Amino acid sequence: MTTDSNWRAKFSNFVRNDVPESSSSYERSANALSRLISNPHTFGVHWNDIQNNPEKFFLAHELLAKRSPELGPGFWIRFTVHFNLFAGTVVALGSKEHFETLEEASKRGEIGCFALTEKYAGVNSGLVVETTAEYDEKTREFVFQTSSDGAKKNWISQGLVADWAVIVARLNMYGKDMGPHAFLCRVREEGTKEVKRGIVFGDMGRKTIGNDLDNAWIQFDGFRCGRGCLLNRYADVRESDGAYARKGGDVNQMSAIGQRLFTGRIAVAKAALTFCEEVFKHTKKYSDAKLCAMRGSNKTLSHVPQLKALYEESEKRLKDVDRFVTFCKKRLSRVLKVRETPSVELQTAIAVCKIRAVETAIELTFRLKQEVGSYALMDEASFKNSDFLQCCKFAEGDSRILSQKLARDAFSGFLKQNSARSIREASICESIRRQIQKYKEDRDGKYNKIDAWDSCWEDVYALADAICDRVMRENDFEGDDNGKDESSNFTKSTPSLVSRL
């Protein structure tokens, strides 16, 4: 059984007794993660759960999220960075040798980070990669270089304590840019923990929340790592002749690296919902007992009409979004077990999961805070770590950027096929088309496409909202888990349904 009670008891015991308070130092928090990593039989989680037991992988994130109103986001992020972004990327892109390296590192309790985001990229995390890895044919090593200030790795969670890193860099071979690739590299010496030559780590500084998690900037200046560090499931540098060779078909490396964002988005969506549910549960317990003067037959705070209505609304809305997240999680779990790529339909649905779950949780939590008076300021209340939801908003792809992508894809399809997936989407797409046309005419055809798109920003987000509504509405996420291929459960994006108005 994939999520047996024995495993849950082990991990829940760790969450209850071993996860430090949010006021703890990041070193203490890292030590707790190290114990978790090195004791899979004691605490029940293993780096390969993301493939062998994705149900357990997701449930572990959920169990940690239940304590997030109390503990804040620090340890939850630390956990998902190691098990999803770091180890998950190795599982998805690595080979047997990398798995063996990861297993030995885990036995020693060594921690990994994920060095993707760069300073210039900002919230467009992963869309811009300027760090380079030049292959030195003589030494059979990759030489990593930060090409500019904007290419510094930025906001790298647990970078100040990590022993290992998955580094995303542009591979240069014989003067040719081969595009972004992922490399598994030891960044601190075993035992001494001294930083490897050619790497500089810096502290991003104190935050308003989650200071039990270290966040680092990283700069490379001639850091070297052997040929075998390249995660080579889809591309390799041959040992025999030093030539670059693609493997496993024509797979885009950046798309392959981005696979971890899908698991992360599901985990983040569920964490946001769980946080919100826990806040409502704890707050309702308080308001059920809080007596109010000048009331009728129902004297508790919970029966004040606006608060009562909010409790009822939140129960329904959270349940609806949670059902959709659970549906997508089941379909993605099937894909993970066979190391395949999610269909376009599932990728879209996962983006919708992330957007809707996080935005719903933020809205409802904020509204609840406005209805319970001074209690919201008390340390005993569950609102003090509400910025956990802010972390969810920008984690694994900022919600605004995801919305932009949904809208761009839909608008591109509208222009090419002269149709859209719903009447509402067709109407908004036509409005955007007319606004861009007017923008172009007003400038005699001399215009920047991004500026023209930005001029329609309100309709762009309205289009994304319409897509989210349609995706949640049209997919049968109440169906049973019958083992069919995940793509059969999604309404296909083609053919288009509604012609241009």
User: Among 187-201, 254-268, 321-335, 421-435, which stretch is predicted with the lowest mean pLDDT?
Assistant: 254-268
Report, as an integer, the average pLDDT of 408-418: 94
The string of DSSP codes covering 242-268 is --EEE-SSS--HHHHHTHHHHHHHHHH
Q: Which two tokens stand for residue 62?
A: 């959920």
- pLDDT given for residue 253 in this prediction: 74
CATH number, domain 112-250, options 1.10.10.10, 3.40.50.300, 3.50.50.60, 2.40.110.10: 2.40.110.10
Report, as an integer, the average pLDDT of 365-377: 95
3: number of Cβ within 10 Å: 12
Expressed in angstroms, the distance from the first to the final Cα of the chain is 52
Cα distance between residue 432 and residue 457, in whole Å: 9
Do residues 94 and 81 touch, judged by C-beta distance below 8 A? no
Q: Which two tokens stand for residue 480?
A: 């049973």
What is the pTM (predicted TM-score) of this model? 0.90
- pLDDT given for residue 56 in this prediction: 96
- pLDDT given for residue 267 in this prediction: 97
- pLDDT given for residue 484 in this prediction: 47
Average pLDDT, the chain: 91
Each as own residue / partner, the long-range contacts of residues 124-132 (CB below 8 Å, 24 or more positions apart, any chain) are 124/398, 124/401, 125/397, 125/398, 126/168, 126/254, 126/257, 126/258, 126/261, 129/168, 129/169, 129/170, 129/180, 129/254, 130/170, 131/167, 131/168, 131/169, 131/170, 131/220, 132/169, 132/170, 132/171, 132/172
Residues 228-243: tens digit of each pLDDT: 999 999 999 998 888 9
137: number of Cβ within 10 Å: 13
- pLDDT given for residue 396 in this prediction: 87
Do residues 421 and 490 touch, judged by C-beta distance below 8 A? no
User: Peptide bond preceding 495: is omega within 30 degrees of 0, i.e. cis?
Assistant: yes
- pLDDT given for residue 282 in this prediction: 97
Q: Which two tokens stand for residue 153?
A: 């790795």
Q: What percentage of the chain exceeds 70 in pLDDT?
A: 92
Task: Report the phi/psi class of residue 248: left, alpha or beta, with left for phi > 0 and alpha for psi in -120 to 50.
Answer: left
3-class SS of residue 8: helix
Cα distance between residue 464 and residue 422, in whole Å: 12
- pLDDT given for residue 4 in this prediction: 60
Confidence of residue 247 (pLDDT cuts 50, 70, 90): confident
| Positive/negative CA dihedral, 457, 462, 464, 465 | positive
Angle at 151 between CA 130 and CA 206, to 5 degrees: 145
- pLDDT given for residue 382 in this prediction: 92
CATH number, domain 259-397, options 3.40.50.720, 2.60.40.10, 1.20.140.10, 1.20.1510.10: 1.20.140.10
269: number of Cβ within 10 Å: 29
Which residues on adjacent β-strands are paired with residue 235? 246
Is 495 a residue whose pLDDT tops 90? no
Q: Which two tokens stand for residue 64?
A: 């940690």
211: number of Cβ within 10 Å: 18
Confidence of residue 496 (pLDDT cuts 50, 70, 90): very low
Residue spans of alpha helices (H) in 108-258: 253-257
Q: HSE on the CB side for 242, CA within 13 Å?
A: 13
- pLDDT given for residue 124 in this prediction: 53
Residues 152-186: tens digit of each pLDDT: 999 999 999 999 999 999 999 989 999 999 999 99
Is 420 a residue whose pLDDT tops 70? yes
Confidence of residue 257 (pLDDT cuts 50, 70, 90): confident
Cα distance between residue 273 and residue 65, in whole Å: 9
Report, as an integer, the average pLDDT of 20-30: 96
Q: What percentage of the chain exceeds 90 in pLDDT?
A: 81
286: number of Cβ within 10 Å: 16
Residues 259-316: tens digit of each pLDDT: 788 999 999 999 999 999 999 999 999 999 999 877 778 889 999 999 999 999 999 9
Confidence of residue 128 (pLDDT cuts 50, 70, 90): confident
Residues 300-325: tens digit of each pLDDT: 999 999 999 999 999 999 999 999 99
Cα distance between residue 305 and residue 315, in whole Å: 16
- pLDDT given for residue 31 in this prediction: 98
- pLDDT given for residue 341 in this prediction: 85
- pLDDT given for residue 5 in this prediction: 64
Confidence of residue 476 (pLDDT cuts 50, 70, 90): low
Q: How many residues does the chain have?
A: 501
- pLDDT given for residue 324 in this prediction: 97
The burial class, CB within 10 Å (0-12 / 13-18 / 19+), for 303 is: middle
The burial class, CB within 10 Å (0-12 / 13-18 / 19+), for 480 is: exposed
Cβ density class 348-367: b for 16+ within 10 Å, e for less: bbbbbbbbbbbbbbbebbee
Do residues 209 and 72 touch, judged by C-beta distance below 8 A? yes
Q: Which two tokens stand for residue 212?
A: 């039990």
User: Among 101-115, 352-366, 485-499, which stretch is predicted with the lowest mean pLDDT?
Assistant: 485-499
- Could you give the maximum distance between any two Cα atoms of the chain, in Å? 85
Q: What does residue 115 show for φ and ψ, rounded to 5 degrees?
A: -95, 80
